[in-house]
Chain A
Amino acid sequence: MDGNVTIILIQLAAFVLPLVFFGLIIGRTVEKRHLRQLDEFDAAHRAFQVTQLKSFPMAASSQSPPAMVVAEVVIGSDYLKSWFAQWRNLFGGEVRSFQTLQARAKREAIARLTRASIEQGYNAMCNVRIESADVGGGTGGNSAKKMPMAAVIASATAYHACSAS
């Protein structure tokens, strides 16, 4: 009887441990790399003016009209994060592992908006709006295949600003 339990436990460990390992090693690496890329992007685009004002601060006249830019980002959790979150669910409190996930999705969305604006030749954007999106099943409902993910849709209006001096 005890032997059976041990075998079951070993089988369970054999199944769960690689997943935790994947989450721990690869998940962490993926997250660290992403955060580094975002830091680099932010550092490289300091001059690009981003506001969430509805007006156009320091708008320059006689240029091409403003244009809306939109970005979508869906970032998945890793196994370890989901596992931590499940534990957190027992006691309540801040779910740190998902907090960083959401923060990454939002920062990535702003980075994409910035990139799209620069590609179209603008040097500023205003009225940044970030909303959480629903891609169906993953984030809500009682779906058996519930996958933790951060999905956002962000929009902003790109325009030409006078360079601050």
Chain B
Amino acid sequence: MIVTNTETVAGYNIVAIRGLVQSNTVRAKHAGRDIAAGLKNIMGGELKGYTELLTESRREAMERMLAQAQQLGANAVVNVRFTTSAVTSGAAELYAYGTAVSVESAH
């Protein structure tokens, strides 16, 4: 599966549009991460726990999105976008969406 955040794929032609694919996850961060982040907020630096949280959410959302694309018979997803929103303090939604297409090599 070719995934890009551009509208086209270099070296490939889009031959069919399969439709919008989307997926979201809402993940809560555990208290341990909050405590670690609270301490880190005194000294500065990367809040690794929160970075991991974002990475996990993004991976999961993308996996589900790609599964949908596969079901539609697509072999590529283009123009992928992410947005996040806080549902409540302590939990964040990550939403991934893109356009499932079929591509063929231009050569």
Across the interface, do A66 and B9 meet the contact criterion of CB distance under 8 Å? yes
| B12 contacts across to A, CB distance below 8 A | 65
| A73 contacts across to B, CB distance below 8 A | 46, 51
Select A22's contact among B43, B51, B83, beta carbons within 8 Å: B43
| B55 contacts across to A, CB distance below 8 A | 72
What distance in Å separates the Cβ of A112 from its nearest Cβ neighbour in chain B? 10
Across the interface, do A67 and B45 meet the contact criterion of CB distance under 8 Å? no
Across the interface, do A136 and B28 meet the contact criterion of CB distance under 8 Å? yes
Select A59's contact among B2, B3, B11, B58, beta carbons within 8 Å: B11
| A65 contacts across to B, CB distance below 8 A | 2, 9-12
Where the two chains meet, the residues of A that have a C-beta atom closer than 8 Å to any C-beta of B are 19, 22-23, 26-27, 30-31, 34, 54-56, 59, 61-63, 65-68, 70, 72-79, 81-82, 108, 126-127, 129, 131, 133-141, 143, 145, 147-149, 151, 153, 155-157, 159
Across the interface, do B86 and A139 meet the contact criterion of CB distance under 8 Å? yes
Pairs across A and B, CB under 8 Å, 6 listed: A30-B43, A74-B46, A133-B54, A135-B29, A153-B94, A155-B82
Across the interface, do A62 and B107 meet the contact criterion of CB distance under 8 Å? yes
Select A82's contact among B8, B41, B58, beta carbons within 8 Å: B41
* B47 at interface, CB cutoff 8 A: yes
A75, A126, A135: residue with the most chain B Cβ atoms closer than 10 Å: A135
What distance in Å separates the Cβ of B7 from its nearest Cβ neighbour in chain A? 6
List the B residue with the shortest CB-CB distance to A82: B41
Across the interface, do B44 and A76 meet the contact criterion of CB distance under 8 Å? yes
Select B47's contact among A59, A68, A74, beta carbons within 8 Å: A74
Across the interface, do B4 and A66 meet the contact criterion of CB distance under 8 Å? yes
- A95, B32: Cα distance in complex, Å: 30
Total number of A-B contacts with CB less than 8 angstroms? 159
Across the interface, do A67 and B3 meet the contact criterion of CB distance under 8 Å? yes
What distance in Å separates the Cβ of A158 from its nearest Cβ neighbour in chain B? 9
| A62 contacts across to B, CB distance below 8 A | 11, 107
| B54 contacts across to A, CB distance below 8 A | 72, 74, 133, 135, 151, 153
Across the interface, do B11 and A143 meet the contact criterion of CB distance under 8 Å? no
Select A76's contact among B28, B41, B58, B106, beta carbons within 8 Å: B41
Q: Which of B38-77 contact A (CB under 8 A)?
A: 38, 40-48, 50-51, 53-55, 58, 62
Across the interface, do A72 and B58 meet the contact criterion of CB distance under 8 Å? yes
| A55 contacts across to B, CB distance below 8 A | 6, 8
